[in-house]
Every structure is written in C-alpha cells, then in structure tokens.
Amino acid sequence: MGMFQTLYDYFWWERLWLPVNLTWADLEDRDGRVYAKASDLYITLPLALLFLIVRYFFELYVATPLAALLNVKEKTRLRAPPNPTLEHFYLTSGKQPKQAEVELLSRQSGLSGRQVERWFRRRRNQDRPSLLKKFREASWRFTFYLIAFIAGMAVIVDKPWFYDMKKVWEGYPIQSTIPSQYWYYMIELSFYWSLLFSIASDVKRKDFKEQIIHHVATIILISFSWFANYIRAGTLIMALHDSSDYLLESAKMFNYAGWKNTCNNIFIVFAIVFIITRLVILPFWILHCTIVYPLELYPAFFGYYFFNSMMGVLQLLHIFWAYLILRMAHKFITGKLVEDERSDREETESSEGEEAGAVGGAKSRPLANGHPVLSNNHRKND
C-alpha cells in the first residue's frame, strides 16, 4: 500500500493542480457552496455504460425505423463464392494477397489469378460496415450532439462570462459549482467514455488514430478542468465543440439517405461553423482566455501548463481536420465527388484492374428503383 499511497499523494499534490497559497481544504463544501471534487467523476463510468445501453435501444427503435422512412437502401453486394483455400488465407494471412501469393493461391484453388483477385475484392466488401450501420451510428451521434449543444447553451447563455471572458477567472479558484454545470459535465464526460468504449465496434474511419487521441485528450481535459475548477472555461469549450458536431452527423445521415443537395448544403454550413468555432474562436478567444488571463492573477503552475498543452493537442487535431474538411468542401464546390474524407471507401468492381468495359460503369453506381444511389462511397453522378 505504501508505494501506491505515495504515488497517490504525489498525484494530488496541491502544487500540481492548484495555484500558489491554495489547498484542497479551501475547496471543501461549506455555507451551502458546493465545489467540484474528483470523486464526482466516478459516476461517469456507470453512466457511460448506460449510454451504450440507451444507444442500443435508440438504434433499434428510433434509427432503424427512421432509416426505413428515409429510404436508406442497402446496395446489393456480390458475395464471394465459398472457397475454403482462399477463406483460410483471408482469415489467417491477410485480406490483400501480394502478386506472388495470388499466383500460389491460384495454383492451390484451380482459379485464374483474376478470379482470385475478384474473390478477395468481394470478400473484403462483404466485411464492410453496411449503410444501415453507418446511418444508425450517425443518427445516434446527431441526437446526442444536438441535445448536448442545446443543453450546453442553456447552461451558459445566462452567465456573465459568456459575454466577458475576463469573468471566467473572477474569484478563481474559489468558484462554487451549480447543478446544471455538474450535469453538463457528467453527461459530456460519460458520452466521450462511451465513444471510446465503442470505438472498436464502430465503423472504422481513416482518422481512427486521431479519433482515439481526440477522445482521450477530451476525457483528460474534461476531468482535469473539473477537479482543478476550470469549470467556466470547460463549459465554454464543450459548448463550442458541440456547436458543429451535430451538423456533420446530420449531413452524413442525409448522405446515407441519398439526399445529395441537402447533404452538400449542410456540409458547407458545417465547414463554415467548424472553421469559425475551432480555428477562430477557440484559439483567439478561449485559448487567449486560458493562457493570458490566469497569469495576471497568479504565477503559472503545473496544472496551467497541463491544461493548455492538452488544449494545444486539440487545436492541432482541429487544424488537421479543418484541412480534410476544406479539401472536401473544395471537391463539393468543384463538383468532383461526395464522401466524407474521413471515411472508408467501398471498392467497386471496376476500380481494381478489371477492364472497365467488361464490367461497365453501371457497376460502380448501383441503382435503387432505377435511380443512381449516392452512398457514402460512390462518385457523384455528373
């Protein structure tokens, strides 16, 4: 126990998390004033599990009927014919055999090299997440982010520091919390935990690693800003992030439902809101507020550097994402294609070395009721 106790004491050392001349004792509840405590955060783990359960029922009883209503149509996928030799290789050695392996498999299975390649392509497509799964996931996130944004604004909009950033630090850190801030914090933190827990089973995107970094940084920031009493700044930052997320998720929903123009227009609005909130307001107002103002009150301490370096990580991720978003908005505007830069592409039969003539353009644009379908992954019909 001794070693653990020492680590524990070091971790909660007041000089790490609180400015000079302040101790945890100063933040004990008294005279009806309630202060944020680290132990409050334990509730977020059971809450995250609750979110996963709620999500399960939401996807079943809300998102699935909604998908049917919006006519989210599954593309018919060509199944790979059963082949034990190739299946064994696919499961044990890899999903994309190299040229030499293709030749070997061709001899073992008695198929031509072309047939082996086609089998692997179809087999990979079979494992792709379905449009319905993507739609359900987007609707769940859309619902959460929208409610969180509205609730967050309700928590903040009547507060003086929403209008005057200097007030964020007024009386810091002897700032008591109110129930609305508490719930806003707990719900956001639980939701990010639930995203982190479900990331393995969710639709895997190209920016998988960045997403994990983002979720972890967000969880650390929310937790730290709670027990170090950066709550006013924290609520501003969370509301700022929620302000663009629901737009992206709704653009995706319309995309999966094949409403091209609606999706494009929402995406452009999303791009504008994202750039303004995360590349203008976040660095020039919020970061200015968390980096410059505190130093007028007390010398910098570990928690100050820690909070701002985490904010720096988020800011870099936002720049990375803004680049992807702008690249995509450019493609929209020039009419090149529609797909989320961060999502995974379905391989079409004609895209991998088959003669386009033999398979024809129709393959790459499946039809539903005779209309070209816009899925997340298909080129726009020009």
Per-residue pLDDT at 9:
64
Q: From 205, 193, 197, select the one nearest 133 (Cα to Cα).
A: 205
What is the CB neighbour count within 10 angstroms for residue 75?
Answer: 18
Per-residue pLDDT at 25:
62
The tens place of each residue's pLDDT in the chain, 382 residues long, gives 676 667 666 565 565 667 666 666 665 655 555 666 777 888 899 999 999 999 999 999 999 999 999 888 777 777 888 888 888 888 888 888 888 888 888 888 888 889 888 988 888 888 787 889 999 999 999 999 999 999 999 989 988 989 888 888 887 766 778 888 889 999 999 999 999 999 888 888 878 888 899 999 999 999 888 878 888 899 999 999 999 999 999 999 999 998 888 999 999 999 999 999 999 999 999 999 999 988 888 888 888 898 899 899 999 999 999 999 999 888 877 876 555 555 555 565 544 443 333 333 333 344 444 444 444 444 444 4
Q: Are 144 and 95 in contact (CB under 8 A)?
A: no
pTM for the whole thing? 0.76
Q: Helix (H) and strand (E) counts for the chain?
A: 16, 2
At a CB cut-off of 8 Å and minimum separation 6, what does 208 contact?
A: 199
Residue with tokens 């006013």: 232
Per-residue pLDDT at 348:
59
Query: What is the dihedral angle through the alpha carbons of 227, 229, 233, 239, rounded to the nearest 10 degrees?
Result: 50
Residue with tokens 């998720």: 249
Per-residue pLDDT at 172:
78
Write the DSSP symbol of residue 30. B
Per-residue pLDDT at 321:
93
Per-residue pLDDT at 66:
94
Write the DSSP symbol of residue 163. T
Cα gap 254→245, rounded to integer Å: 15
Domains and CATH numbers, the chain: 32-69+130-334 (no CATH), 84-127 (1.10.10.60)
Record the tokens describing residue 1, joined without a space.
């126990």
Query: Could you tell me the CA-to-CA distances from 70 to 75, 135, 136, 260 in Å, in that order?
Result: 15, 10, 12, 13
Residue with tokens 């107002």: 285
